[in-house]
Amino acid sequence: MEPLQAGDPLDEIKKLIDNYKKKHEQLLEEQKELVACRDMQQGLAAQFKDRAVKLAQKLKEEERSYIERLTDSETQLNQLRQEESDLKEKIQMIKAVLQEEEAQKKLLKEQTEVFTAVPEKKVVFLGSTGSADTAQAFEMEANIIYPMEGGTALITFEEEVVATQILAKKLHQVKLGGECSITVEARPVHLMLPKAVEINTDVCPHRILISNLPNMDIHTMLYELEIHFSKSRNGGGEVDTCDLLPDSGNVVLKFVEDSYAKGLAEKELHEVKLQGAKHTVRVTPFLNGKISHFKAESMPCPQTVLLTGIPNVMEPETLQDELEIHFQKFGNGGGEIEAILYNPVGQDMSAVFKDISSKPEEVEEQM
């Protein structure tokens, strides 16, 4: 408080009271302003808090949405990767199919070349016809080599039942005159025969097949053909070999290089000077054959038996005759003999079978 001055004490007191009232009023105004400011700050704080809550919720929603979009994107990416993998597999499959088609195309082209490579052969229709059902398939003539041990014999009977009887009895006592006899054992004969054969053929780039050749001296013909096709003006080159195929009468000519055979085969017809006169020969590609698949099976010879344990007791021809006589007699369980081959002890011999079907087998000696 302010000290009272000497003078009118009431006036001074009034002044003091007025001053304090003013100050009081100022304080009340300031208090109101502070209250208003406080209320405003509290309102702002509430607004900020509300906004913060909303922002937090929005962030959570955005985060959840982002995670969902990320998951969807990963799913789509995995699907795209799977589609890419499937497409790659399809591409590989298509490439494999294309390669197979190319291989098939190449094979067909080679087959076409093979078909066109067959030498011409003149045929004449004689008027005979037949059913298509009776057409025969491709066949190979059997030529089976059967090694024989010493002291054995092969006998082929006309009837299969006779061979069956001989095999059933197994041991046979063969009389050789007087009190002399031998005991032989009858065994079945099995041969390994081809059941399935596949041969791949391709055109040889070094060889040509020459057909439509005249009848003349073989050595002269081969010499003149070699001279003709060794000249570059005739489309040829250096010749390696020139050989005759005795079964067909055609000639196989082989070049050292592989750049001549194709051109000569494409021209096909060539005029060659043979025996002082021009002769038109036909040149076709030469085919190489390679066995790609071979399957064999053991087949019994139903009319042939193998006799073993035959000792060397007399001349081979005489002993073979004695065996034939014994096994021809019906009393010994034998029958009519188609062929017989005896191999004495200590000798090497092979039998050649031409057929093991129901027809009689042929058994030939091969030293």
Q: Does 48 have pLDDT greater than 80?
A: yes
Q: What are the pLDDT digits (tens) for 148-171?
A: 999 999 999 999 999 999 999 999
- SS3 readout for 204-257: EEEEEEEECCCCCCHHHHHHHHHHHHCCHHHCCCCEEEEEECCCCCCEEEEECC
Domain residue limits, the chain: 8-116, 144-194+295-366, 197-292
Mean pLDDT of 298-316: 90
* C-alpha to C-alpha distance for 182 and 323, rounded to whole angstroms: 10
Q: Which residues of 335-347 are buried (b: 16+ CB within 10 A; e: fewer)?
A: bebbbbbbbbeee
Q: What's the number of CA atoms in the CB half-sphere (13 Å) around residue 245?
A: 15
Q: Does 91 have pLDDT greater than 80?
A: yes
CATH topology of domain 197-292: Alpha-Beta Plaits (3.30.70)
Q: Output the pLDDT for position 57.
A: 92
Q: Output the pLDDT for position 366.
A: 44
* C-alpha to C-alpha distance for 210 and 215, rounded to whole angstroms: 14
* C-alpha to C-alpha distance for 181 and 152, rounded to whole angstroms: 16
